[in-house]
Amino acid sequence: MDRLELIRQQCLSCRECPLCQQRSHVVFGTGDPNSELMFIGEGPGEQEDRQGEPFVGPAGKLLDDMLEMIDLDRSRVYIANVVKCRPPRNRDPLNEEQAACRHWLDAQREIIRPKLIVCLGRIAAAAVIKSGFRITREHGVWFDVDGARAMAMYHPSALLRDPSKRPETFVDLRTLRSEAKRICERLY
C-alpha cells in the first residue's frame, strides 16, 4: 500500500472533531497523486458527503468546465479539501474543525508535493496561503508557500451564486495556465 493510500485509510476512521458524527463519508481527495497541480477547497457539500468524492455536485461540474478551459481535466490534477467531513448545512468549517483536520491536508501536500496549489475560495486560501486572506482583492495573485506557488480563485459555488465574478475567474484561469506552463514539466 502506498503512503497516500495509507493516510487515506487512516483518515476514513478519523473522529478528531464533531464533524465525524454526521458524515456519510469522509471526503479525502481524488486525482493524480503525482500531479504538479493541487486544488484545495474548503470542505465537502451534500453531494460530496453522499459520494465520498470532492467537487461532484454543481460546483464540481463548474470546476470540470474551468479545468477544460485551460486544457486540463481531473485525471491530471489532485483535488482535496481543508476539512474532510461536511459541516452541517454547508456552513464554513470552524477553526477547531480546520485545526483537527490540518494534519490530513499537510500529509497530502507532503506526499503529492505539488509545484502549484490553487485554493478555491477564501476559507482554503486563509488556511493555506495566509490568515486574513481577502479573496476579493487577492484572487489571482501568486504567493510562495512551503516550496510551492499558490494562488486563490473564487470557489465554484460562489461563481454559481454570483456569475458576475466569472470574468475575473477566467483571467485567474489564464494566469494559472501560464504559470503551469512556466514551471510544471509534466502537466501540459
Residue 78 within a domain: yes
CATH number at residue 167: 3.40.470.10
Taking only the tens place, the pLDDT of each residue in 79-137 is 999 999 999 998 999 999 999 999 999 999 999 999 999 999 999 999 999 999 999 99
Domain count, the chain: 1
Phi-psi region of 83 (alpha: psi -120 to 50; beta: other; left: phi over 0): beta
**What is the total residue count of the chain?**
188
As a whole-number percent, the residues of the chain with pLDDT over 90 amount to: 98
Pairing of strands 148-153, 37-41: unpaired
Residue 48 within a domain: yes
- Whether 186 has a pLDDT exceeding 80, the answer reads yes
Question: Rounded CA gap, 133 and 112, in Å?
Answer: 24
Residues spanned by the domain of 145:
3-183
Residue 31 within a domain: yes
Question: Rounded CA gap, 173 and 29, in Å?
Answer: 21
Residue 188 within a domain: no
Confidence of residue 61 (pLDDT cuts 50, 70, 90): very high
Residue 65 within a domain: yes
Residue 104 within a domain: yes
Question: Rounded CA gap, 111 and 42, in Å?
Answer: 20
